[in-house]
């Protein structure tokens, strides 16, 4: 494809692509996000292609804008979000969503749906006897407002032409030709877009600070190092709508006077790296990236830097150090990244979702943006809903939506009919919220007040069987493992806290441990060098605040109220069921079981190592744990 | 005697990225992709080519979780222990895999270099929790029993491969 030399050529190509989309009168969108791919969606894609071609139905797997007749579009699209029900296949123009599709269903989809125009109810989402043919009508989607994720699941994630056909790069076009850099920054400032990576710092202010720097070389960096366990919003944007993020970065480059940008992607996201590489190559081919873009003086190049497995690299100064090929260790601030960032130059560093919001704001205006969500945290937020919840997946809701709506209306409540206990928000830096907080609106300021943080948007739901002390230990283990070791409070302090928590879950907790944990937490929070350390203690502090009784039960009674801590498990023989056969005693590796034949046996808990090997040997199900 | 190390693959990688210090991570990543670990022979060679100290290279190689200075197995099994997988019981899966293969937290690779078992903090496939990956292929909704079945299948594949190699 030839390079686009001016605005008219871009507009013409966009029209041609939109026209070509009209010719795809029927479309099958197969989810090609990491979730559905691992459930076999690409095999479904190939089978559908073979079947359609075998029936001589014109099928287009890539949008071509040269004159051609009508065809069935068969596309690999980004994550639809409803990962629980994957592999997902969307049928257009009807807007039907087929869930849990299997290879065996492909023939029927082609025969009945594509050729016959009929719906296959068996594949549609069903709940309480009702069938939900349309994607938008499914309760999971109904309460969502998908604007940043509007393309995810709706367009081909691998095609720049399809992105153009849906109006792509029009925000960049407007910014390049109709706005000055100051106009762009004003619009972003007015929209009050706040950093989606967790901090909530106003993006407009950050951009203005970078623009003000006199240093001629500046950088735009996108933080795609989504390291919070249980979060995959950014992954879905990078995989499902990579061009939107690129467009956001290009606008940032234009506004701040940067000619080069880096996207830092974590190594655990190979598919995102692949899609981004492809997207950059396509944009370069069209001349949307490179020198003299669309005949103007604006030059912009984008590079991908792959992470190598270090959570701390989500921190700004560690991330830039990592791009420079160094150990990803944070440095003392100030100077801030906006003054001395990547290669010591002024740097705009925003996360994936923040950049993905930018084209929307330029296209629809700051006023529109501010009409969504509360005044201090406008816009939407994507959340990854995971853990013990019915509908796991990726969602997008207006800021200010309550936890109750998210967990019960969209998420469908807790799995297996269990009771809701807590939700961890903000990953290892965040806190646990309990049923008392369910009516809390999800926005930056309300969560901060409640002692949690919105973080990048991971919501991990926990049911009644989850031990909160163990959860705190889990997060502390994570943070301790990821501590870079540069500053003492974090390196040594997290180690001490972890040691205490490990003792408690093993039943060796002592009186005074809770106070010691809180004191350590205070010190680390006050003195650690970077955000990782400063927030390392949050899960411990918030679980102590809400579940102090669980800590006390572990310490004083050596009991785990949730019955999940292995070392505190008690294995006992029910004398009413035991026939005294001695089989269990023979299987015990530490001779902890004794008794007289034909009399109930018993377990010596001081010897028992809780290996549970006796449980499976008992023919009478007399051995229990709890 | 050790056979001499063939540096041609390293040269290819160096010419792809250019001999720039800022590309150390990318270069090490590609070396690891090629050899499945970072052979010690590579360090003095890269040090000369990039004009940086070996210590500088080791500082990066030991900082990041993904780099390994030890050879890994034919099948690298990574058990996700991110929050979502953890609350959906990923640890029993890890324990079963270690038990099946006779491995532990300290000893991650089998003596025959067939399998490596490690944990990863999150693969971002939380919707399918608990997940494991085998050489980057994702296996969703795992259970300890499914893990045992998988090991049996992989063992058979390993046996078939070595038979194929010796035939």
DSSP SS3 for B61: helix
pLDDT band at B25 (very low <50, low <70, confident <90, very high): very high
* H or E element in which residue A96 lies: strand A96-98
Residue of A nearest to B137 (CA): A38
Give 3-state DSSP helix, strand, coil % of chain B, rounded to 5.
Answer: 50, 10, 35
The pLDDT value recorded for residue B1 is 45
B150: which chain A residues are within 8 Å (Cβ-Cβ)? none
Residue B3 confidence (pLDDT) above 70? no
The pLDDT value recorded for residue B167 is 62
As a residue count, chain A comes to 626
Residue of A nearest to B129 (CA): A387
Residue of B nearest to A39 (CA): B140
Q: Show the domains of chain A with their CATH numbers.
A: 7-138 (3.40.30.10), 169-370 (3.40.50.11540), 380-463 (3.10.20.600), 468-556 (1.20.1440.230), 569-625 (3.30.70.20)
B123 touches A: beta carbon within 8 Å: yes
Question: Distance between CA A464 and CA B87 in Å, rounded?
Answer: 11
Question: Distance between CA A224 and CA A232 in Å, rounded?
Answer: 10
Measure in Å the smallest separation between the Cα of B78 and chain A Cα atoms.
11
Q: Taking a C-beta distance cutoff of 8 angstroms, is the pair A258, A222 a contact?
A: no
Question: Distance between CA A572 and CA A105 in Å, rounded?
Answer: 49
In 3D space, the residue among A110, A46, A104 whose CA is nearest the CA of residue A72 turns out to be A110
Q: Taking a C-beta distance cutoff of 8 angstroms, is the pair A98, A112 a contact?
A: no
Q: Are B60 and A327 an interchain contact pair (Cβ–Cβ within 8 Å)?
A: yes
A71-77 and A24-31 strand pairing: parallel
Q: Taking a C-beta distance cutoff of 8 angstroms, is the pair A477, A511 a contact?
A: no
Residues of chain A with pLDDT below 50 are: none
Q: At what angle do helices A538-556 and A513-527 cross, to 10 degrees?
A: 170
A308 touches B: beta carbon within 8 Å: yes
- Chain centroid to CA A360: 21
Question: Distance between CA A166 and CA A155 in Å, rounded?
Answer: 8
Mark out the alpha helices in A567-620 (DSSP H runs): 583-587, 613-617
Interface of A with B in 323-342 (CB under 8 A): 323-329
B58 touches A: beta carbon within 8 Å: no
A228: which chain B residues are within 8 Å (Cβ-Cβ)? 122
pLDDT digits over B151-161, tens only?
Answer: 999 999 999 98
The percent of residues above 70 in pLDDT, for chain A, comes to 100
* H or E element in which residue A421 lies: strand A420-425
The pLDDT value recorded for residue A1 is 65
In 3D space, the residue among A19, A20, A25 whose CA is nearest the CA of residue A117 turns out to be A25
Q: Taking a C-beta distance cutoff of 8 angstroms, is the pair A200, A377 a contact?
A: yes
B64: which chain A residues are within 8 Å (Cβ-Cβ)? 307-310, 328
Choose among B23, B127, B136: nearest Cβ to A325.
B23
Question: Distance between CA B156 and CA B98 in Å, rounded?
Answer: 18
Rg of chain A taking only CA atoms, in angstroms: 27
Q: Name the pTM for this structure.
A: 0.92
A37 touches B: beta carbon within 8 Å: yes
B122: which chain A residues are within 8 Å (Cβ-Cβ)? 227-232, 268
**What are the strands, taking DSSP E only, across A175-242?**
219-224
In 3D space, the residue among A54, A496, A72, A11 whose CA is nearest the CA of residue A286 turns out to be A11
Measure in Å the smallest separation between the Cα of B113 and chain A Cα atoms.
23
Interface of A with B in 222-241 (CB under 8 A): 226-232, 235
Measure in Å the smallest separation between the Cα of B112 and chain A Cα atoms.
27
Q: Show the domains of chain B with their CATH numbers.
A: 8-63 (no CATH), 75-166 (3.40.30.10)
Question: Distance between CA A510 and CA A582 in Å, rounded?
Answer: 37
Contacts (Cβ under 8 Å, ≥6 apart) of A200: A194, A377, A444, A454
pLDDT digits over B76-130, tens only?
Answer: 999 998 888 888 889 999 999 999 999 999 999 999 999 999 998 888 788 788 9
Mutation target vs A (from B17, B84, B94, B99; most A CBs, 10 A cutoff): B84
B22 touches A: beta carbon within 8 Å: yes
Per-chain mean pLDDT for chain B: 91
Q: Taking a C-beta distance cutoff of 8 angstroms, is the pair A357, A194 a contact?
A: no
Measure in Å the smallest separation between the Cα of B43 and chain A Cα atoms.
15
A344 touches B: beta carbon within 8 Å: no
Q: Are B128 and A230 an interchain contact pair (Cβ–Cβ within 8 Å)?
A: no
Point out which residues pair with A434 in neighbouring strands.
A422
Q: Is A216 exposed, middle or buried (0-12, 13-18, 19+ CB in 10 A)?
A: exposed
Point out which residues pair with A507 in neighbouring strands.
none
DSSP SS3 for A596: coil
B55 touches A: beta carbon within 8 Å: no
A39 touches B: beta carbon within 8 Å: yes
Find the angle CA(A384)-CA(A387)-CA(A393) to the nearest 5 degrees. 35
Distances (CA, A) of B142 to A238, A339, B65: 26, 47, 24
3-state SS of A279-339 is HHHHHHHCCCCECCHHHCCCCEEEEEEECCCCHHHHCHHHHHHHHCCCCCCCCCCCCCCCC
Contacts (Cβ under 8 Å, ≥6 apart) of A54: none
B36 touches A: beta carbon within 8 Å: no
Q: Taking a C-beta distance cutoff of 8 angstroms, is the pair A323, A264 a contact?
A: yes
Question: Distance between CA A375 and CA A370 in Å, rounded?
Answer: 7
B130 touches A: beta carbon within 8 Å: no
A34 touches B: beta carbon within 8 Å: yes
Residue of B nearest to A227 (CA): B122
Sign of the torsion angle spanned by Cα atoms A337, A343, A348, A349: negative
B138: which chain A residues are within 8 Å (Cβ-Cβ)? 34, 37-38
Q: Are A230 and B88 an interchain contact pair (Cβ–Cβ within 8 Å)?
A: no
């Amino acid at each position: 494809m030839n390079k686009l030399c001016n605005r008219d050529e871009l507009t013409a190509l966009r029209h041609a692509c939109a026209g070509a989309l009209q010719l795809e009168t029927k479309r099958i969108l197969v989810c090609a996000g990491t979730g559905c791919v691992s459930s076999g969606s690409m095999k479904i894609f190939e089978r559908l292609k073979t079947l359609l071609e075998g029936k001589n139905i014109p099928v287009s797997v890539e949008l071509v804008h040269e004159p051609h007749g009508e065809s069935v579009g068969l596309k690999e699209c980004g994550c639809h979000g409803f990962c629980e029900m994957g592999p997902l296949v969307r049928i257009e123009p009807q807007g039907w969503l087929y869930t849990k599709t299997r290879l065996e269903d492909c023939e029927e989809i082609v025969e009945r749906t594509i050729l016959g125009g009929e719906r296959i109810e068996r594949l549609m989402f069903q709940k309480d006897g009702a069938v939900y043919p349309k994607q938008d009508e499914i309760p999971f989607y109904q309460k969502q407002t998908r604007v940043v994720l509007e393309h995810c699941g709706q367009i081909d994630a691998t095609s720049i032409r399809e992105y153009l056909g849906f109006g792509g790069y029009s925000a960049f076009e407007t910014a390049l030709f109709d706005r000055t850099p100051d106009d762009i920054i004003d619009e972003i400032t007015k929209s009050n877009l706040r950093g989606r990576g967790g901090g909530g710092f106003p993006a407009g202010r950050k951009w203005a600070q970078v623009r003000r720097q006199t240093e001629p070389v500046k950088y735009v960096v996108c933080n795609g190092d989504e390291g919070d366990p249980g979060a995959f919003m950014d992954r879905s944007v990078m995989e499902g709508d990579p061009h939107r993020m690129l467009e956001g970065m290009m606008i940032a480059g234009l506004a701040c006077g940067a000619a080069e940008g880096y996207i830092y992607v974590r190594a655990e996201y190979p598919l995102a790296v692949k899609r981004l590489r492809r997207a950059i190559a396509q944009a370069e081919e069209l001349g949307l990236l490179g020198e003299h873009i669309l005949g103007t003086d604006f030059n912009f190049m984008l590079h991908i830097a792959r992470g190598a497995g270090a959570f701390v690299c989500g921190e700004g100064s560690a991330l830039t150090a990592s791009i420079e090929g160094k150990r990803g260790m944070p440095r003392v601030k100030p100077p801030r990244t906006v003054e001395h960032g990547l290669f010591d130059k002024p740097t705009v560093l925003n996360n994936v979702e923040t950049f993905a919001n930018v084209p929307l704001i330029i296209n629809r205006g700051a006023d529109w943006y501010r009409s969504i969500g509360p005044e201090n945290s406008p816009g939407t937020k994507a959340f990854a809903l995971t853990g013990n919840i019915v509908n796991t997946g990726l969602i997008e809701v207006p800021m200010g939506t309550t936890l109750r709506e998210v967990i019960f209306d969209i998420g469908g409540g807790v799995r297996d009919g269990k009771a809701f206990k807590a939700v961890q928000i903000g990953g290892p830096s965040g806190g646990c919220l309990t049923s008392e907080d369910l009516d809390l609106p999800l926005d930056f300021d309300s969560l901060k007040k409640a002692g949690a943080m919105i973080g990048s948007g991971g919501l991990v739901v926990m049911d009644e069987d989850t031990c909160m002390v163990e959860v705190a230990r889990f997060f502390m283990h994570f943070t301790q493992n990821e501590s870079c070791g540069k500053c003492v409070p974090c390196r040594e302090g997290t180690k001490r806290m972890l040691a205490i928590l490990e003792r408690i879950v093993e039943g060796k907790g002592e009186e005074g441990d809770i106070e010691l944990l809180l004191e350590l937490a205070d010190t680390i929070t006050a003195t650690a060098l970077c955000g990782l350390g400063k927030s390392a203690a949050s899960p411990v502090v918030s679980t102590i605040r809400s579940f102090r009784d669980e800590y006390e039960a572990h310490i004083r009674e050596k009991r785990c109220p949730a019955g999940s801590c292995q070392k505190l498990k008690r294995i006992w023989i029910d004398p009413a069921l035991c026939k005294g056969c001695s089989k269990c005693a023979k299987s015990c590796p530490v001779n902890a079981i004794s008794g007289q034949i034909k009399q109930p046996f018993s377990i010596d808990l001081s010897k028992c190592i809780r290996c549970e090997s006796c449980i499976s040997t008992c023919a009478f199900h007399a051995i229990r744990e709890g | 005697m050790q056979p001499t190390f063939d540096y041609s693959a390293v040269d290819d990688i160096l010419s792809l990225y250019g001999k720039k210090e800022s590309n150390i991570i990318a270069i090490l990543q590609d070396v690891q992709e090629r050899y499945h670990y970072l052979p010690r022979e590579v360090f003095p060679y890269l040090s000369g080519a990039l004009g940086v100290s070996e210590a500088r290279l080791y500082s990066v190689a030991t900082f990041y979780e993904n780099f390994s200075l030890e050879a890994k197995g034919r099948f690298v099994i990574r058990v996700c222990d991110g929050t979502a997988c953890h609350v959906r019981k990923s640890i029993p899966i890890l324990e079963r895999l270690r038990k099946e293969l006779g491995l532990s937290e300290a000893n991650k690779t089998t003596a025959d270099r067939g399998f490596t078992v490690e944990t990863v903090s999150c693969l971002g496939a939380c919707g399918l929790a608990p997940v494991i990956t085998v050489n980057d292929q994702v296996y969703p909704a795992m259970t300890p029993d499914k893990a045992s079945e998988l090991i049996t299948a992989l063992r058979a594949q390993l046996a078939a491969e070595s038979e194929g190699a010796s035939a």
